Amino acid sequence: MIRPVSNPPNPWQGAHVEWLGEPPPALPELHEEQASSILSRNDSPDLPFRWSLNPYRGCHHGCAYCYARTTHEYLGWGAGTDFEKRLVVKSNAAQLLAAAFARKSWVGERIAFSGGTDCYQPLEADYGLTRACLAVCLEHRNPVVVLTKGALVRRDAELLGALAREARATVQISIPFADQPSAGALEPGASSVAARFDAIRVLAEQGVPVGLAIAPLIPGLNDSQVPELLERAAAAGAGSAWTILLRLPGSVRPVFEQRLQEALPGRARAVMSALREMGDGRVSRAGFGQRMVGSGPRWQALEDLFALHCRRLGLSPGERAPNDGPTTFRRPGDGQGELFAP
């Protein structure tokens, strides 16, 4: 059951201010939930993982293009400002994960953190649910991949480093724009571009395999920034990179178009025209295997450019969720000993 919180914690005060920068003009409307489950099963071939974990519903990053916006409609809310301002916290996330790991049916498959909304959005600074779930994964040595736009991930660099050593964990940092004005226009609540590149550096220094996600690639807007993004990521310590084409399902399209027109009116027509060119006349394709890629000579040129610069910089291309292979999963007390001996 979802219940409103009348006076939610303010993550822009005290010890957390260094992670989050300037406060927003108004705090979100916050709700807490005792969820019935925490792992979501994915059957789409477009996504390279079977299981995802999302401690929060909605996302204060407010990315205009976020494909997860439509999930808020299942709660009876909207895909626009409701998605950014009406946020739900799954307070029992870590307990649910531990219970899932205790079942004999769980065989230790990789879990993607942020398959829906960002697990390192500002709420995480106070609630710490992502960190608690990662600690459960470390205890059980369960493989994970984390995808985030939140520089708060730096807080957990040591924990993620331990996971990388014990359970083949990786982190993918999403940075679609090289310049802050463009990022601020379409990702108003996300960490700054500079902070995200710094997060790559901090994680790499802890031995965490880090990848750059140019997600999404928006033709006519950020495609010309691909070489700079890859160069900066490689310099910061990233070892891989991948990209996907902008996807605008259902109610996401009008949200994106309105905000693009308001923020970057001179680019809006070119962007929508390029999407149609790469989508066989459609702005967004819905078929499996087509949702996040384009077609035609313009898309092929972008793919070739991306691959060329990855080779030049020594970045492994296309690794959206590496770590396939035998699982490292174990249950405490199974005779293998403790992770940390006294």
pLDDT at position 252 = 94
Whether 261 maps to a domain, the answer reads yes
pLDDT at position 156 = 98
- Which letter, b or e, does each residue of 51-71 get, where b requires 16 or more Cβ atoms within 10 Å of its Cβ? bbbbbbbbbbbbbbbbbbbeb
On the question of pLDDT at 119 being above 90, the answer is yes
Residue among 184, 181, 110 nearest 147 (CA): 110
On the question of pLDDT at 53 being above 90, the answer is yes
Which residue's entry shows tokens 């916050």? 30
pLDDT at position 280 = 79
Question: How many CB atoms within 10 Å of residue 264?
Answer: 17
Whether 95 maps to a domain, the answer reads yes
Instruction: Decide: helix, strand or coil at residue 115.
Output: coil
Longest distance between any two alpha carbons in the chain, whole Å: 64
Whether 332 maps to a domain, the answer reads no
CATH number of the domain that residue 64 is part of: 3.20.20.70
On the question of pLDDT at 301 being above 90, the answer is yes
On the question of pLDDT at 6 being above 70, the answer is no
Q: What is the mean pLDDT of residues 286-302?
A: 79
Which strand (E) or helix (H) includes residue 146? strand 144-148
Question: How many CA atoms, within 13 angstroms, populate the side-chain half-sphere of residue 72?
Answer: 25
Phi, psi of 171 (to 5 degrees): -130, 135
Contacts of 235 (CB under 8 A, 6+ apart): none
Virtual torsion, Cα 304, 310, 315, 318, nearest 10 deg: -20
Q: How far is Cα 62 from Cα 60, in angstroms, rounded to an integer?
A: 5
Q: How many contiguous H segments (helices) and E segments (strands) does the chain have?
A: 12, 12
Whether 331 maps to a domain, the answer reads no
Whether 273 maps to a domain, the answer reads yes
CA 76 to chain centre: 24
pLDDT at position 309 = 97
Which residue's entry shows tokens 């477009």? 46
Whether 334 maps to a domain, the answer reads no
Whether 210 maps to a domain, the answer reads yes
Question: How many CB atoms within 10 Å of residue 308?
Answer: 14
Q: What is the pLDDT of residues 121-147, one digit of tens each?
A: 999 999 999 999 999 999 999 999 999
Q: What is the mean pLDDT of residues 76-102?
A: 96
Range of the domain at 289: 26-317
331: pLDDT confidence band, cut at 50, 70 and 90?
Answer: confident
Number of domains in the chain: 1
